[in-house]
Structure 1
């Protein structure tokens, strides 16, 4: 292999995307008789078909929702089809063993949700990426780079078809005349090869009970169409791509217009599509370019060798305008301050900075200073406003699905949207180091406490610091009447001095200006 050959980032992402296509999520296992996950029988009454509404509704705030998994197939079907499709590849024995260990997993071709009245929810359809890939994988190697585009197109077409199909049932629900309802959506079980695009019963045919809105026949009708369109009938038997599994769930009322999380596919598919498009359109952010650019980063700094560069980074002009008022007024160590200065000064346009160290070496401590720096940047931006209303963009109205009124929303202007902080970790304990310890008054030196007491009532309500049990921490929304009115002093973020690493910066992170009313 030519080591000097540059790798196209889009090729890397397309390869990764192809791997994720064949990494579906397994279906929920059956829960037995009377359970929440079942495989319906031919003569079984489905929950949403029962005439008694009490059997379908939990209470005033919750309702049953049903997820239908259509076209069940085993891991063995997937593995054998992949090996057969890519027969030219020499699959290592270790990979074959890994496939064999997952033979008991089950997947499906597509899924959608049904509300408690038996009506399909239009925005709940999901197409299995693995099933699509096996039916429509490009036959020519030169077309492999188009897999992402082909998958997106197939997904949108499938969703559009499902919306049209589901809309028939929504219209039927609104029709109170039984005869018209039957003509719109009722399909006698004796019909052969029904056409989904125009399901109509003849005048002489026997009409089923009008309360049957969505039955197994209708679902199989949809599955037949999908199988022919995508090509599932080339590797699955008809009895497989029309098989069903149904999961009963509880959901909040008025949630039918929200799209659920994808229950079938890899979590990474959406992100990979988004990133690939950015790279392909040359809309490369600094972080993406550093990770996926055709050239490796060449600028590396050895802090043990380049001491002159280190001292330049630690110059007073490179310090943030504010620091965390930690107990004892102890400054950061040089290595900590180096990381803070680099993060604040070099990541304005994006990028990534990794800080490594064993537990107890001060990683959380330096994050406190980054938080303080961001707060001060917000304060500086606020001070530049000549009119407080310029902090917000034009308001718009939002409808409450469970209330008979709208609310006006005043979003921040785009200028103020670049100063947020997201703390993310796969370890909840690491996140709590920030979310629980930083708001605590013990994290601030006592000499600053009388200068940092702004918005205390609001913060107390949001963080529930009145009952700050570490293992029973709850966040609560602000409710009318829970926040007491401000006292006679109005607090604001201003400027003052604080000691930091031997220097004095003229904009501490938390300062106070008081005005007597």
Structure 2
């Protein structure tokens, strides 16, 4: 089995694991969503007078957002069809479970207008249509979904009524090549979820049906086919090597554990924690191992910990160690201006304006950290908390100040430093860049602080800051 085939298999698993449609539950507050079903051949729109959602109450400062989970079906039928097509799985088996998924999902405003580009196809249904037609399923999902988003705009212009939705459902069934598989439309159900949302700051919803890994896995598989890989990817896809595993619960591992926890393996910096508390041995073992194995090379190291066991605490010490290493690199420069590369400065956009920047010296590269997760909230909790003043011991203040004033402007809370920011969306980056490069402090109100950018380039490790 090759690395490409492993990734293709992973991609297929993700394609065939759509999210279940939300279950209908009793609405227990004005802020909660209201869910109801209607027949797919005779749909009732939630903004219509005869809809069960029409009489639902909501907070005065909110409007309705309607999400349609269209043409619900049981995924066991798809599994049975694929079994007949490809044969039964000869490996691990588990009893088939009922999973109610949707052929597609679509969002509408309170007035019944389709939200542009909100159409999401079921990757499972798309895969089935491709398989039944003996067409390639390794590529094409995103392209066909984007094509449909454009194609349906003339049909779904203006307030959408029941007849338009019936036509859309038939169109998508036909497009996916599943008319014969699903039979009559009246046998199926639409599920509506009506949610009160804030007008000015609506919560962003991720893909309500599919895995967020689909496009990335397809790209990785194509790269592997063309011989393009990396050390971390090769390590991740390699066969398990038992001899490389250290079982910390084994008595024979004691000497190796003691060695890894020896003072010489500790990083030169640690987080200024509350009450000056250090890490417990298991956390320190992880930090020491990370720095020992990955500081000077590429690779991947897995650390598993249930909620509340100190993964964020561990991350703080790792961050402190990286900042300290970078401080050593800065201290080795002959002068402050050596942090930048000589030459013509570049002009880059900060989202609202252009800034003149000088590229950083390559010796300052490699100290960046990206925190990524399938849960946006978890990432934001970490990146927004790290700069806050109450996350370090008060005894370090006011000496521990790492662009604290700018950190407070960016985070909106009292900060001791500007060491992290939530930048996972275009909107967040657009908000962050002007605050970073053109902060409106009492001292700089109405001005552009040209010297601040140079200091921040040294402090943060980005490519952008005026000199």
Question: Which band: TM-score by shorter chain?
Answer: 0.5 to 0.7
* Superposition deviation, residue 129 in structure 1: 1.5
Provide closer, same or farther for how the CA distance between residues 43 and 238 of structure 1 changes in structure 2, counting only shifts above 3 A: closer
Give the aligned partner of residue 153 of structure 2: 166
Residue from 217, 220, 238 that aligns with 2:184: 238
The question of whether the paired residues in 2 share the 8 Å contact of 1:64 and 1:251 is answered with yes
Map 1:396-407 → 2, pairs under 5 A: 396=349, 398=351, 407=352
- Structure 2 residue 24 is matched with structure 1 residue 37: no
Count matched residues: 406
Normalising by structure 1, we get a TM-score of: 0.58
Corresponding residue for residue 132 of structure 1: 126
How far does the alpha carbon of each residue in 1:438-472 deviate from its partner, in whole angstroms, 9 at most, with x for none? 966795594x5453235444556737469xxxxxx
1: distance between equivalents of 2:59 and 2:313? 48
Matched, 1:292 2:237: yes
Change (3 A) 1:11 1:384: farther
Distance in 2 between the 1:18 and 1:378 partners?
A: 42
Return closer, same or farther for 1:455/1:418 CA change in 2, 3 Å cut-off. Answer: same
User: Quick one: structure 1 residues 294 and 337, their matched pair in 2 at CA, closer, same or farther if it must change by over 3 Å?
Assistant: closer
Change in 2 beyond 3 A, CA 1:485/1:378: farther
User: What is the CA distance between 1:12 and its match in structure 2?
Assistant: 0.9
Deviation at residue 330 of structure 1 after TM alignment: 9.0
Shift of 1:106: 1.6
**Matched residues in 2 for 1:165 and 1:108: separation?**
18
- Return the offset for 1:273: 2.8
How big is the shift at 1:136?
Answer: 1.9
Distance 1:268-1:367 versus aligned 2 partners, 3 A rule: closer
1:272 matches 2:270: no
* Distance (whole Å) between structure 2 residues aligned to residue 373 and residue 260 of structure 1: 35
Report how far residue 359 of structure 1 moved: 12
Distance 1:329 1:88 in 2: 55
Residue 322 of structure 1 and its aligned partner are, at CA, apart by: 4.9
* RMSD between superposed Cα atoms in Å: 5.8
Contact residue 66 and residue 114 of structure 1 kept, 8 A: yes
TM-fit CA distance, 1:30: 3.4
Find 2:323's aligned residue among 369, 375, 387. 375
Equivalent residue of 1:219, what SS? helix
Give 2:207's match in structure 1, choosing from 223, 246, 262: 262
> Helix, strand or coil: the match of 1:119?
coil
How far the C-alpha of 1:387 sits from its partner, in A, is: 6.9
Confirm or deny that 1:148 pairs with 2:138: yes
> Which residue of structure 1 lines up, in the alignment, with residue 228 of structure 2?
283
1:222 maps onto 2:175 in alignment: no
Deviations 1:63-96 (A, max 9, x none): 322222222212443343344334454587x623
Q: Quick one: structure 1 residues 329 and 450, their matched pair in 2 at CA, closer, same or farther if it must change by over 3 Å?
A: farther
Task: Please name the residue that 1:68 is paired with.
Answer: 68
Say if 1:11 and 1:45 are closer, same or farther in 2 by CA, change over 3 A: closer
What is the CA–CA distance in structure 2 between the aligned matches of 1:450 and 1:332, rounded to whole Å?
27
User: Displacement of 1:386 after TM fit?
Assistant: 6.4
Post-superposition shift, 1:232? Answer: 0.9
**CA contact under 8 A between 2:223 and 2:229: conserved in structure 1?**
yes
SS for the counterpart of 1:147 is: coil
Partner of 1:46: 45
Contact 1:71–1:240 at 8 Å: present in 2 too?
no
SS in 2 for 1:10: helix
- Give the superposition deviation at 1:324: 5.1
User: Structure 1 residue 40: deviation in Å?
Assistant: 3.3
Q: Retained in 2: the 8 A contact 1:62–1:252?
A: yes
Consecutive unaligned residues in structure 1, runs of 5 or more: 1-6, 174-212, 399-406, 467-476, 495-508, 510-517
Q: Deviations over 1:259-293 (max 9, x none)?
A: 84111123443443343244334332221111114
Is residue 73–residue 188 contact of structure 2 (8 Å, CA) maintained in 1? no
**Does the 8 Å CA contact 1:24/1:265 hold for their aligned counterparts?**
yes
Alignment of 1:176-255 (within 5 A): 213-239=159-185, 243-253=189-199
Q: Does structure 1 residue 343 correspond to structure 2 residue 291?
A: yes
Aligned-partner Cα distance in 2 for 1:429–1:70? 30
Partner SS state of residue 218, structure 1: helix
Change in Cα spacing, 1:50 to 1:254, as seen in structure 2 (3 Å) is farther
User: Which residue of structure 1 lines up, in the alignment, with residue 115 of structure 2?
Assistant: 121
1:27 equivalent among 14, 21, 30 = 21
SS at match of 1:117: coil
Partners of 2:374 and 2:413 in 1: how far apart? 24
Partners of 1:450 and 1:361 lie apart in 2 by: 30
Higher Cα radius of gyration: 1
Secondary structure of 1:451 counterpart: coil
CA distance in structure 2 between the partners assigned to 1:362 and 1:29 by the alignment: 33
Contact preservation (8 Å) 1:220, 1:242? no
Name the stretch that deviates more: 42-51 or 11-20: 42-51
Change in Cα spacing, 1:43 to 1:106, as seen in structure 2 (3 Å) is closer
Question: Does the Cα contact within 8 Å between 1:337 and 1:366 map onto a contact in 2?
Answer: no
Matches of 1:430 and 1:60, distance apart in 2: 31
